[in-house]
Amino acid sequence: MLQKRAPIITIMGHVDHGKTSLLDFIRSSKLAAREAGGITQHIGAYQVEFAAQKITFIDTPGHAAFNKMRQRGAQITDLVILVVAANDGVKPQTLESIRFIKESQVPFIVAINKVDLPDLHLEVVKGQLAEAGVLLQEYGGDVEAVEISAKTGLGVDKLLETIVVMADLLELQADPAAPLEAVVIESSKEKNKGSVARVIVRSGTLQVRQELIVDEITGRVRLLENELGQALTQVLPGEPAQIIGLDEAPEVGSVIRDKNASYEADLTAEFSRTGELEKSFRLSEEINWENVDLDVMLGDREKIKLIVKADVKGTLEAILQSLDRDSVDVIACGVGQITEQDMELARDGKVLLIAFNLKVSSTQKKQAKNLGVKIKEYNIIYHLIEDLQQSMLKLMDATFDEVVTGEAEILQIFDMKGETIAGVRVRTGELKKADLLHLKRGDDIIANPVLKSMKHGKEDIDRIGPKNEGGLTFKNRKLDFQVGDVIVAYKKES
């Protein structure tokens, strides 16, 4: 029998616009059964209760997990909250989020954050959203906007009220008696627990001692836990949980099913498809290290060679999706602690070993020093990407008296008000309005342009950062530039 279930919410938006702050505020103030005690643990999702309605929030690297589930035909999100900072407006990741949302046809709410800051121009932000194809209700559109401060909690209750209303309109239902389907939102291998899968139940009921199958992985549920670390006997549709008992850690986006249940259609082939990341990168535990020829793997191209190890697969995939394939070679990647095989492959400084959200022991650091292994530890993806950008600049070609500070590719050329504008995307480093520039076509410098203006949308700016886009006009009247040309920013060495 169909029953009402909790809505499942994903939060998206540009970095530093307050996605994590919003999740943290809701979690700390509204967590269901919080009085039961215990420090919350990361299980990839958590559930709160507001106005007698349970709401499940996916607390994973937003774009990566969302896209991964969609690729594998396991879309689980009912509603997206698009967070836009009132002091910063629409940015590249905001546009990326809007594209994700529209492609998946998921309803969404705009949360305009940081409204507690002074000297804001909310109408400008709302106008930028309209330009990006998001027309708010106050302008005659169909998208609800709520003004909030994730720092003070201003407007957060109104946002939750809006979620409850929209969830009621969606009439979300599921059958607890149906065959089990639970979507994996994160997974990992842990020292004391073994393979761990963090899931949200889509239909049916997940129970202790239940025999499960996901892709070709099997197992029996030894333990179910919620975000408080409390043991559960069962998990109903719309609820999150952590499963301990599978033989291996399943892929993000895969669907766990009851091994002994009967299903109307065999969806195994659909759910076992590997995504583009698995085709591009091999996990470290799958490599036969004895047969690795490092010189062949590294090749002759000037790229940064990496081994990437992370705590969970959701985070690993977020990192891999953020890397620039033109400047980085991922020799191996995987989930879990750094191994002796990882050290051996990275010895003599040939490969940089990345440890993300992992504790590197003093013994490992000593071993790394003896082997000449470079280990860098991170817990914020964007710090990792920025460091790689700076490292890549050191590998780029430059004349003997020049130091390259940025590189951008021309993606589009268009005319506006009598001026020809180059639409660019920064690949490495940054572009600043006062930079010295080369215009390169292939390996040849064909001109030394001088910037006249730099814009993001209609806004004048002085800088375009890594992976961001903007429009450039030049003082050179007859500058011949084409799509695919590269703008190189540099400074003279003293």
pLDDT in tens, the chain (494 residues): 899 999 999 998 887 898 888 998 998 887 654 433 444 566 788 899 999 999 999 876 555 566 666 555 557 899 999 999 999 999 888 888 898 888 888 999 999 999 999 988 899 999 999 988 999 999 889 999 999 999 999 999 999 999 999 999 999 999 999 999 999 988 888 888 899 999 999 999 999 999 999 988 999 999 999 988 899 999 999 999 999 999 999 988 889 999 999 887 543 333 333 334 434 443 433 333 333 333 333 444 467 889 999 888 878 877 887 777 777 888 888 888 888 888 888 887 778 999 998 988 888 888 888 888 889 998 877 778 777 776 766 555 444 467 888 999 999 998 887 788 999 999 888 999 989 999 998 877 888 899 999 998 888 898 998 888 999 999 887 788 999 999 999 887 65
Q: What CATH number is given for 3-173 in this structure?
A: 3.40.50.300
Distance between start and end Cα atoms, the chain = 76
Tell me the backbone φ, ψ of residue 122, rounded to 5 degrees.
-60, -30
pLDDT of residue 399: 41
User: Tell me, what's the pLDDT at 384?
Assistant: 81
Residues forming a β-bridge with 329: 305
At 393 the pLDDT is 60
Nearest to 329 by CA among 406, 395, 381: 395
483 CB-contact burial (10 Å; exposed 0-12 / middle 13-18 / buried 19+) = exposed
- CATH annotation of 276-393: 3.40.50.10050
CATH superfamily for domain 181-271: Translation factors (2.40.30.10)
Can you give the C-alpha Rg of the chain in angstroms?
Answer: 25
Would 3-173 and 276-393 be classified into the same CATH topology? yes
CATH superfamily ID and name for 402-492: Translation factors (2.40.30.10)
- Cα separation, 379 vs 397, in Å, equals 31
Helices and strands of the chain, counted as H and E runs? 12, 31
**What is residue 243's predicted lDDT score, i.e. its pLDDT?**
97
Cβ distance 293 to 355 under 8 Å? no
C-alpha of 38 from chain center? 28
Cα separation, 44 vs 242, in Å, equals 9
Q: How far is CA 198 from CA 24, 46, 122, 282, in A?
A: 19, 11, 38, 22
Please tell me the predicted confidence (pLDDT) of residue 204: 96
Beta bridge partners of 214: 217
Report domain extents, the chain.
3-173, 181-271, 276-393, 402-492
| Overall pTM > 0.75 | no
DSSP-assigned letter for residue 72: T
Q: Is 493 in contact with 442 (CB distance < 8 Å)?
A: no
Amino acid letter for position 271: F
- Give the per-residue pLDDT at 74: 58
